[in-house]
C-alpha cells in the first residue's frame, strides 16, 4: 500500500505516531489550515477533540479523508450534515475512558454520601463537629446512557451495594448485568425513586436539554445529580435553581455548556455543587492509550480490515452489539 497521509488536528503532538513511519506521512493542522489540508488527507485524527473545526471545514464535495478518528467518546463536536451524508468512516475512543469515568462517578457519589466537603470545610475552620452520614449500600441510582460509559458506571455503583436502573434509547430485556435496560421514555417515572441520577448519555438531537426544570422537579427531594456526558444535556440555570431551592441536596458537573467555565458563571457558587474541569476520564497515561488505540486501528485500515469503534453517524454513537 502506498504511503498514506494522516492529518492530525491539534497543536499537542500525539505520542506513538512513530509507528506509522514508512507507511504514513503525518501532517498537522489547526482550525485555520484544516479546510485546505483535508482535501489531501487519507485519514483525519481529531486529536483536539474540543475543537469544532471539522464541522466548519468539512468539504461538501470533492476529495476528503476516507476515515476520521476522534480521540474522544463523543462525536458531537465533529458530526455535520456533509460528514453524516458521505461514506467517510468515523471511529471514536470507545474503550479508553469507561472505567476511569466510572471510578470518578463512584468517587463523587461516595464524597456526597459521606459529606467529605463538609469535613474539609470544618477542618479548614478547625472545628470538631460530629455528623451522621449516609450509607451507600441500599440506595438507588438511575444511570442515563446505556453505552459503555453508562454500563461501567452502573456496574461500579452496583459493586458498592447501590441498586441501578440503566436507561437507554430503547428498552432491552435479558441484559446480563442489568436485567432490563429501560427506554428513555420511562425516565421521568424512575427519577422519583432515585437517590443518585447519573447522566452519561451521548449528545444528540434527542438528548439535548434532557435535564431541565421538569426533569429536576421529577427527582426525589434531597436527591443528587451527576453529569459526565456532555454539557448541553443539562439546563444549567434549572440545575442551579433546583440546588438553591433545596430540592436537590447536591450535584456534580464534569462537563459544561461552555468550556472553560467562565469565572462569572453562577455554577461556581451553587450550593452543594462540585465543579470539575472535564477530567473524569483523564487518568495517568490516557494520551498514550488514545494514541495506541488510533495506531492499532490504522493497522487495520492499512490492511483493509474492519475498523474498531465505527460510529453510526445518524445515531451519533457506536451502537451496542
DSSP 32-79: TTHHHHHTT-SEEEE--TT--HHHHH--SSS---SEEEESSS--TTT-
Among 164, 113, 162, 110, smallest CA distance to 138 is for 162
Question: Are 212 and 237 a contacting pair, CB within 8 Å?
Answer: no
Tell me whether residue 247 is one of the annotated catalytic residues: no
Neighbours of 212 (CB within 10 A): 15
**Catalytic residue (one of 140, 244, 278, 287):** 278
Geometric angle at alpha carbon 243, from 206 and 211, rounded to 5°? 5
Q: 116-124 and 98-113 are packed helices; what angle lies between their axes, rounded to 10 degrees?
A: 60
The whole-angstrom distance between residue 1's C-alpha and the CA centroid of its chain comes to 36
Tell me whether residue 278 is one of the annotated catalytic residues: yes
153: alpha, beta or left? (left if phi > 0; alpha if psi -120 to 50): alpha
Tell me whether residue 259 is one of the annotated catalytic residues: yes
**Length of the chain, in residues:** 321
C-alpha distances (whole Å) from 189 to each of 78, 193, 220 are 34, 8, 11
Neighbours of 90 (CB within 10 A): 24
**Catalytic residue (one of 69, 182, 230, 236):** 230
* Residue 173: its H or E element: strand 172-175
The set of residues, in sequence order, having a beta carbon less than 8 Å from that of 174 and lying 6+ positions away, is: 180
**Catalytic residue (one of 121, 171, 214, 259):** 259
The set of residues, in sequence order, having a beta carbon less than 8 Å from that of 14 and lying 6+ positions away, is: 8, 45, 47, 71, 287, 290, 291, 294
The residues carrying an active-site annotation are 230, 259, 278
Amino acid at each position: 500500500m502506498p504511503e498514506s497521509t494522516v492529518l492530525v488536528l491539534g497543536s499537542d503532538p500525539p505520542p506513538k505516531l512513530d509507528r506509522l513511519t514508512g507507511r504514513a506521512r503525518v501532517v498537522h493542522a489547526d482550525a485555520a489550515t484544516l479546510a485546505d489540508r483535508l482535501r489531501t488527507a487519507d485519514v483525519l485524527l481529531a486529536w483536539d477533540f474540543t475543537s469544532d473545526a471539522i464541522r466548519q471545514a468539512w468539504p461538501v464535495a470533492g476529495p476528503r479523508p476516507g476515515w476520521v478518528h476522534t480521540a474522544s467518546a463523543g462525536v458531537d463536536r465533529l458530526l455535520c450534515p456533509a460528514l453524516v451524508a458521505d461514506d467517510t468512516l468515523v471511529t471514536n475512543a470507545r474503550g479508553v475512558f469507561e472505567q476511569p469515568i466510572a471510578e470518578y462517578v463512584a468517587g463523587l457519589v461516595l464524597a456526597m454520601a459521606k459529606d467529605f466537603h463538609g469535613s474539609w470545610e470544618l477542618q479548614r475552620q478547625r472545628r470538631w463537629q460530629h455528623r451522621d452520614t449516609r450509607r451507600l449500600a441500599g440506595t438507588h441510582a438511575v444511570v442515563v446512557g446505556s453505552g459503555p460509559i453508562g454500563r461501567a458506571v452502573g456496574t461500579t455503583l452496583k459493586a458498592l451495594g447501590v441498586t441501578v436502573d440503566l436507561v437507554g434509547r430503547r428498552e432491552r430485556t435479558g441484559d446480563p448485568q442489568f436485567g432490563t435496560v429501560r427506554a428513555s421514555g420511562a425516565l421521568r417515572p424512575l427519577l422519583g425513586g432515585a437517590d443518585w441520577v447519573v447522566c452519561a448519555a451521548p449528545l444528540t438531537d434527542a438528548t439535548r436539554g434532557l435535564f431541565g426544570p421538569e426533569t429536576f422537579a421529577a427527582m426525589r427531594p434531597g436527591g443528587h445529580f451527576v453529569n459526565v456526558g456532555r454539557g448541553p444535556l443539562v439546563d444549567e440555570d434549572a440545575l442551579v435553581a433546583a440546588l438553591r431551592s433545596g430540592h436537590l441536596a447536591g450535584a456534580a458537573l464534569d462537563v459544561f455548556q461552555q468550556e472553560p467555565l467562565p469565572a462569572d458563571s453562577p455554577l461556581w457558587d451553587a450550593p452543594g455543587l462540585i465543579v470539575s474541569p472535564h477530567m473524569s476520564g483523564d487518568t495517568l497515561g490516557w494520551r498514550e492509550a488514545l494514541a495506541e488505540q488510533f495506531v492499532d486501528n490504522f493497522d487495520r485500515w492499512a490492511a483493509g480490515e474492519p475498523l474498531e469503534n465505527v460510529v453510526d453517524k445518524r445515531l451519533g454513537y457506536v451502537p451496542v452489539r
